[in-house]
Structure 1
């Protein structure tokens, strides 16, 4: 005899009687609802299954929240991608236009400047002070490589070039 099972059955019967149930069938039904008429193995398996169902339900709820969050993130990312795709892109051309030399085009101004500095270093290594001077009259100003304390022009320029994201038939040609 299990004192725990007897105590549990007593509690269920007492609660049923307090609710006005006195017939043997009603008390037995209360015991069945409380799963006290099952053998202990069946009751343990039932409780384990109920626990699994609760855990899976909680996991599904968390998964649902994650999916909703990911959906919001994807929507925001798509909007940002569309914004970036429609924006013009700027690349930078490293050049020495006075002698017709184009060194290359780069995604960053820093990379284009480094190429010009490397070319200057091959030709004129005694100048230690390097300065990049912008042309202030342009919204996307080119910068010119100058050297020395007197800011001597070298002729090397880094020119920003705006590239449209797509063809526009209405644009001036």
Structure 2
């Protein structure tokens, strides 16, 4: 039982009776005017919606808990491991496009800039190449605008290690 709703309905009924309404239909009109009546179909639909919202709240709560657990686990695992950011740039011209927490975003920025350099509708393929196969080497973007054409763009994604603490003995 919803005591707030019952008290509100009782208040509407009391005011209707104070205003001289004694016939049950007149009291019901007062309740309807206060938007406190609904059809059985609407009541059933409201009950279903409330169940669905409660389920979504429970699901959201468990998802948030799972995400929090995952973040805590990642933090514990990464403690002491180096952290990297990725700078997208055109070093020959001194243009730095941006610095990102993941390699894919840095690559995406370079590819978007190169796409704007070509006429609209030109079919482009991109290849990222590195001199070494390790993950810490800079990658250069090559564009393939045709079947056999290959063009170095000069755009590079460079991994940069982020220090987690100051090292007094480190290089300055």
Q: Normalising by structure 1, report the TM-score.
A: 0.49
Which structure's residues are more often helix, by fraction?
A: 1
